[in-house]
Chains A and B, each alone.
Chain A
Amino acid sequence: MRAFTQHKGVVAPMDRSNVDTDMIIPKQFLKSIKRTGFGPNLFDELRYLDEGKPDQDCSQRPKNPDFVLNQPRYENASILLARSNFGCGSSREHAPWALEDFGFRAIIAPSFADIFYNNCFKNGLLPIVLPEETVEKLFQATWAEDGFELAVDLEAKTVTTPSGEAYSFEVDDFQRHCLLNGLDDIGVTLEDADHIRTYEDQRRRTAPWLFRDLSAG
């Protein structure tokens, strides 16, 4: 996984709450058996005027000029500013894959849906929770200024505006550690393989019905 330490980039404002993962990446693109290539279909139904199909050349499709990411000023955005409950709905990890593939490195919102929030960390994408008022201020600033940028520092747990205002955010220590170092958490868990075996042995004695082997029929 790509590590995340610091990042500075243009902010794109996604001004609606309850953005669900169906909206982030519609189901027809979930048929892929790969992890990559979802970027062109990020927010497909909002971004294009026609119905998207898998394996299509998206550069030829009619774009919705009203959609925020189609506006030239947000073309190179790498930080998404969003409203509450971002990423609700389905557990599809294709949502962070699509955001990451498009070029986003961080998402700022007053709140995120649990599964989506977790999925981001597995993919080098940093979800940042800031208070509603702060997010509102950032929206205003983003609209007011072309090319408005924010600097995110995961080590220091801060988001800083061009004028030097810094907002700190909370993040789980373990998730931060993995993201800072680009760690594969399966490898980290397997360091505890002995603990897992000990747990299993003890559990097998007290609750043997949990260990019925389904593959044995």
Chain B
Amino acid sequence: MRETTMAGKTLYDKLWDAHLVKERDDGSCLIYIDRHLLHEVTSPQAFEGLRLADRRPWRLGANLATADHNVPTTNREQGIAGIDDPVSRTQVETLDKNCDEFGIVEFGIQDRRQGIVHVIGPEQGATLPGMTIVCGDSHTSTHGAFGTLAHGIGTSEVEHVLATQCLIQKKMKNMLVRVNGQLGPGVTGKDVMLAIIGKIGTAGGTGYAIEFGGEVIRNLSMEARMTICNMSIEAGARVGMVAVDDTTIDYVRGRPFAPTGELWDQAVESWRNLHSDADAAFDKIVDLQGEDIQPQVTWGTSPEMVTGVGGEVPDPEREQDPIKRGGIERALQYMGLAPNTPISGIELDRVFIGSCTNARIEDLREAAAVVKGRKVSPRLKQAMVVPGSGVVKAQAEQEGLDRIFIDAGLEWREPGCSMCLAMNADKLGQGEHCASTSNRNFEGRQGFGGRTHLVSPAMAAAAAISGHFTDVRELMQ
């Protein structure tokens, strides 16, 4: 283990130490898990494993389940029967059955609180500062925005957590990503994170727990901090975190599962310590300057293939490294893009505003502000908005955002993962270009042969209006 007694502790060190149950002789550690989130895709084999070994969940009340990946974004009044694909239906039914059988609380697909698992945890106060949080989903890093130690796990680990409330872990290294200065207008948390990934690469954070700090991060809302932590995994890091401050505490206060009364005061007092000590040592520090960050657009098939909206698709000829050159060539071929094409020259077929990265209320407000009083380009086959949860949807409707979207020609859908990974009916057709607020632009991610460009909600909204990428700052003038 690293010597941590002399220097101060990082936030990650503190969270780790507070959850260490036992360090074994071989250096592996047993870490206690406070919150376990479940969804339909990565849990069935884990429940089956429990049954086969005749085991019960260790602490039922620590678990929260919801169906999100497979759920349709229309016809929700029919419940599970409204899922056309029988294989998807079985998976959602299996989650219901497993939660019933074991006694795990689940927000079913007709529950108003249902939504993408990483949206509902914070929204319900099931995510609290200082917790360890895991889920069979790599974007569990989202919850790190609350000063938690949160990361994705595989299905065998889902079973392990259910059965023991612990995980076997090795400590990661500490990385600090500092975003200094100020962001310009029209530049959002998503752009910050895409710029970070562009800088350190998709393997840049492998083996590290990243803490995001600096003035820009301190000034961001919880929603934007969640967007940033969400995509830590796209930078290779399982864990992304932000220190707790008033913004965090104000967000958590009054949430359904948050503590109240005396317990709240006691909790807040302990949460105030959830930051890295001034003299804490990091294994690696990366600095970015907020003023340098432009609205970002990915042009390739990996999130690190990204540039500013004013930029161009790269020319593989100019890349020295043969493996990288091959990667660029393959990506351009898949994306159907010629070298040196200006980003603003990329024409679009669809726009998707949604996912655990960008489907919270603030994201929808940003998108609505851009499309308000305008019309979606006739070039587009479809532009859709999929709120992250039933609660977000209700809030947006109360604010009239749904009307703004519908009037502009965007579709207003029911909550779920939707076209982020296209496990339900929402997909790209072959060769179609999509401006998407999700987190992965991998080949086939949004549909067989589909071409994804990752952007912020504001940039997706601007693209919906123009039919191609446009600098959203021009629409804001």
Residues of A within 8 A of B (CB): 15-18, 20, 22-23, 26-28, 30-35, 45, 51, 54-55, 83-85, 88-93, 96, 111, 113-115, 118-119, 122-123, 172-175, 177, 184-186, 189-190, 192-193, 195-196, 199-200, 203, 207-217
Contacts and interface: CB of A to CB of B under 8 A. Distances in A.
Given A31-B90, A186-B160, 5 more contacts: A33-B48, A35-B48, A91-B136, A174-B24, A210-B34
5 nearest A-B residue pairs (beta carbon)? A213-B61, A122-B156, A33-B44, A93-B154, A174-B28
Interface stretch (B309-317, B368-376, B437-445): B437-445
B87 interface: yes
A196 B166 contact: yes
Given A111-B203, A214-B257, A215-B60, A27 B421 contact: yes
B61 A211 contact: yes
B406 interface: no
B6 interface: no
Interface stretch (B221-229, B262-270, B392-400): B262-270
A113 B156 CA distance: 17
A70 to B, nearest CB: 18
B448 interface: yes
Given A89-B440, A212-B61, A172 B170 contact: yes
25 contacts: A16-B330, A17-B323, A20-B442, A23-B443, A27-B422, A31-B88, A31-B91, A88-B203, A91-B136, A91-B138, A96-B154, A111-B206, A113-B236, A114-B207, A115-B151, A172-B26, A174-B27, A186-B159, A189-B160, A189-B163, A192-B21, A199-B22, A212-B61, A214-B126, A216-B61
Given A33-B48, A88-B202, A185-B168, A210 B64 contact: no
Contacts of A34: 45
B156 A123 contact: yes
Contacts of B44: 33
Contact of B236 (A26, A85, A186): A85
A199 B445 CA distance: 42
Given A31-B87, A113-B236, A115-B138, A195 B21 contact: yes
A209 B131 CA distance: 10
Nearest to B47: A33
Interface string B55-96: 100111111100001100000000000000101101100100
Nearest to A18: B302
B154 A203 contact: no
Given A17-B327, A22-B445, A45-B443, A30 B423 contact: yes
Nearest to B98: A33
Contacts of A15: 326
B18 to A, nearest CB: 8
A15 to B, nearest CB: 8
A51 B30 CA distance: 43
Contacts of A199: 21-22, 32
Contact of A28 (B126, B330, B423): B423
Contact of A93 (B24, B48, B155, B330): B155
Contacts, number: 202
B42 interface: yes
Contact of B154 (A17, A89, A91, A185): A91
Q: Output the residue of A192, A215, A217 with the most chain B CB within 10 A.
A: A215
Nearest to A199: B21
B448 A45 contact: yes
Contacts of B88: 31
Nearest to B151: A115
A212 B442 CA distance: 39
Given A22-B440, A199-B32, A113 B94 contact: no
Nearest to B60: A215
Interface in B392-422: 421-422
Q: Output the residue of A23, A85, A175, A211 with the most chain B CB within 10 A.
A: A85
A210 B267 CA distance: 9
A207 B129 CA distance: 11
Contacts of B238: 114-115
B61 A91 contact: no
A78 B76 CA distance: 45
A91 B263 contact: no
Contacts of A195: 21-22, 30
Contact of B28 (A26, A89, A172, A214): A172
Contact of A203 (B32, B103, B137): B32
A54 B87 contact: yes
B332 interface: no
Contacts of B153: 91, 115
B460 interface: no
B195 interface: no
B131 A190 contact: no
B128 interface: yes
Contact of B202 (A18, A28, A35, A190): A18
Given A185-B168, A212-B61, A215-B103, A122 B421 contact: no
A26 B70 CA distance: 14
Contacts of A203: 32
Nearest to A15: B326
B323 A33 contact: no
